[in-house]
Each structure stands twice: as C-alpha cells, then as structure tokens.
A and B are shown apart, each in its own frame.
Chain A
C-alpha cells in the first residue's frame, strides 16, 4: 500500500472518529455543542424567500449519495 493511500485512509478515519467524539460531547448534559441532528435540522430549514434551499440541498445530496454508492 502506498504512503499516499495510507494517509488518505487515516484522514477519513480521523474525520469519522472526530465526528463521533463531537457527537458524544454534544450529548453531555449542559453541553453548548448541538447534536449533528440539531445542526442538520437548522440547515435543512434554511429558506431563501419561499424556496426551501436547505431541503433541496440535503435531500438531493443524500439521494445522489445513495445512487452513487449502491447503483453505480
């Protein structure tokens, strides 16, 4: 395995572990960090005028991600 491939794998693992750590910290009592679900809820609710930009962006991306991973 090449060094660059190892670094890339390590980078993705660090990102996933960091995500889990922040989520655990967010679930502590009196934490000022919101959970990932709360952050997503606010981003999804974002609208420009009457256009639900957050919904279009999040749902569209997640739909594409599933198609990208499981259909092609």
Chain B
C-alpha cells in the first residue's frame, strides 16, 4: 500500500506530456518573439516566464529520477565546453567588440528577426523545460 502511494506521488502530472507542453511552449515563444529588446514588456515577460520555470524546477513537480552513475566518457564533454569557454572568455576579456565578438553579440543581429527570435525563444524555453525536469 505504501509502495503504491509512493508510486502515485512520484508520477509526473497528467499534463506533463510532449503533446501538451510543446504547443504551450510554442505559444509562449511566439508571444516572446514579438516583444522587442530593451522594452519593459520584454523584461517583464521574460522574467515571469523564466520565474515560472524556476518555480517548477525548485518545487520538483515535474522532476524525473536521477539516471545511473556517469561513465568514464564524461570527460569528453569538456572538449566542446572548453572550446566554447575559451572563445567566449577571450572575446569578453578583449572588450566584446565587432572584432572580438562574444556569442551573444553574434546572436543579436539574428534575433532582431521576429521569426528567428521566436525560434530562439522556443529553444531557450524547451531547454529550460528539459532542465527543470532533471
């Protein structure tokens, strides 16, 4: 009986399915993509949507069990992370200028297009969603 109760408690909510969450995240991304940078609306919207994700992440309502131990190949992840870190860090330290652009400086012109901005917003939200389920 106790095991059954635990299983019920640990089960994800009924709405936590891709067929439900992806359209919702897509709709939120379409709205977010229409809001231009440096506006109060964009600030409030991004802070509220991110805050909701943060709340879900800390309450653990959609959390999945931790996968097994990490294998010896984990160190391979240091390669892409290290390359990115070297270029982001060095361009930032060199002043983040057109000659030494950081990643976000390169992304900014692309994000001015509303469709690409919505797509970027969708990537940010879905990856945030993937993180809070971990």
Q: Chain A interface secondary structure, helix, strand, loop or mixed? A: helix
Contact between chains at A70 and B54 (CB < 8 Å): no
10 A-B residue pairings within 8 Å (CB atoms): A22-B76, A22-B80, A33-B71, A44-B134, A55-B58, A66-B121, A68-B104, A70-B32, A70-B120, A71-B45
User: Which of B58, B83, B101, B125 is in CB contact (< 8 Å) with A15?
Assistant: B83
Contact between chains at A59 and B131 (CB < 8 Å): yes
Contact between chains at A14 and B67 (CB < 8 Å): no
Complex Cα distance A58/B83, Å? 20
- List the interface of chain B (C-beta within 8 A of A): 32, 35, 37-38, 42-43, 45-47, 49-51, 53-54, 57-58, 64, 66-67, 70-74, 76-77, 79-81, 83-84, 86-88, 91, 98-101, 103-104, 106-107, 111, 117, 120-121, 124-125, 127-128, 130-132, 134
Complex Cα distance A25/B77, Å? 11
User: Which of A8, A22, A69 is in CB contact (< 8 Å) with B111?
Assistant: A69
Contact between chains at A62 and B131 (CB < 8 Å): yes
B127's nearest neighbour on chain A, judged by CB, is A62
Contact between chains at A18 and B100 (CB < 8 Å): no
